[in-house]
Structure 1
Amino acid sequence: MKLLGIVLLAVAAAAAVAATFLPFSELLIRLAPGQPQTAYVTTGWSTHFGGTKDEHGPLFAVPVVVAAAVILLGVRWRKVAYAGAAALAGVTGMLFVYLLNAISFHREGNIAIDPGLEAGFGTGIWILVAAVVLAFAGVVVHPDD
């Protein structure tokens, strides 16, 4: 069981960090009638609007990486693994709610601008959710201190 716990925690930490490089949210918007849709993509480290990268990235990834590091430290101590899993769950939950609000606003708030607007979650947020599940599974099978 100890090996399974170590593997689950390591995979959870790696998945969480990898997720920060993938899209958390994606928005396809047409800025003027007859124009092609432009992608607005947010990752844990940056925001891209079409081919333009925002020089002031959102840095959503920083707390995710810190939580992943704590999860890795938790390989040795169950309470630390639990704290890391809880931190990752909190960060993921807050990010999910933030993105849900932004996606809902764009879906409903900009219909006059672009009736064909598409907004949704990217693969990164779903991998973060999976990392939370894996982290807590690792805590459950972790041998007691």
Structure 2
Amino acid sequence: MKKILSIVLLGLATAAAVTATFLPFSELLIRLAPGQPQTAYVTTGWSTHFGGTKDEHGPLFAIPIIAAATAVLLGIRWRKVAFAGAAALAGVTGMLFVYLLNAISFHKSGNITIDPGLEAGFGNGIWVLITAVVLAFGAVVLHPDD
């Protein structure tokens, strides 16, 4: 039973990590000039959008996430691989979280003179990614020793 639950959790963790790459990691609403409407600046794992414009040089945060998620999925067979995948996913998620926290903090304090109504925060993608990490480690705990 524990093995089946571990397999299900590893599958869910992998699916959540991959899904997270398509969701917004951070969202910024900024007014570029007084009296103008706010423009959304959204970053996902694959791209950055500023209003209706897609940045052709996306951040590609998704690549290490997909690599870690692949290791998580391969961990279905081997507990040590599941642990390594969960650890890699946690590392990537932690680094991304700190990077976004710094970027969000910079925009909140650094651009207050441009737009006092600026809104900056995490998107739902980062929370889905954190959930994937929790699921992956839960699966490792339940994974039978081979």
CA distance in 2, matches of 1:72, 1:125: 20
- Pairing of 1:1-145 with structure 2 (within 5 A): 1-145=2-146
Shift of 1:102: 0.1
Q: Percent identity?
A: 82
CA distance in 1, matches of 2:39, 2:33: 10
CA distance in 2, matches of 1:109, 1:2: 50
AA matched with 2:110: G
SS state at 1:69 partner: helix
Q: How big is the alpha-carbon RMSD for the aligned residues of Structure 1 and Structure 2?
A: 0.3
What whole-Å deviation, never above 9, does each CA across 1:22-41 have from its counterpart, x for those lacking one?
A: 00000000000000000000
TM-score by length of 1: 1.00
Shift of 1:140: 0.2
Write out the 4+ residue segments of structure 1 that deviate beyond 2 Å after TM superposition.
none
AA matched with 1:7: V
Structure 1 segments unaligned to the other structure (5+ residues): none
Structure 2 segments unaligned to the other structure (5+ residues): none
CA distance in 2, matches of 1:67, 1:9: 12
What whole-Å deviation, never above 9, does each CA across 1:95-116 have from its counterpart, x for those lacking one?
A: 0000000000000000000000
The count of corresponding residues between Structure 1 and Structure 2 is 145
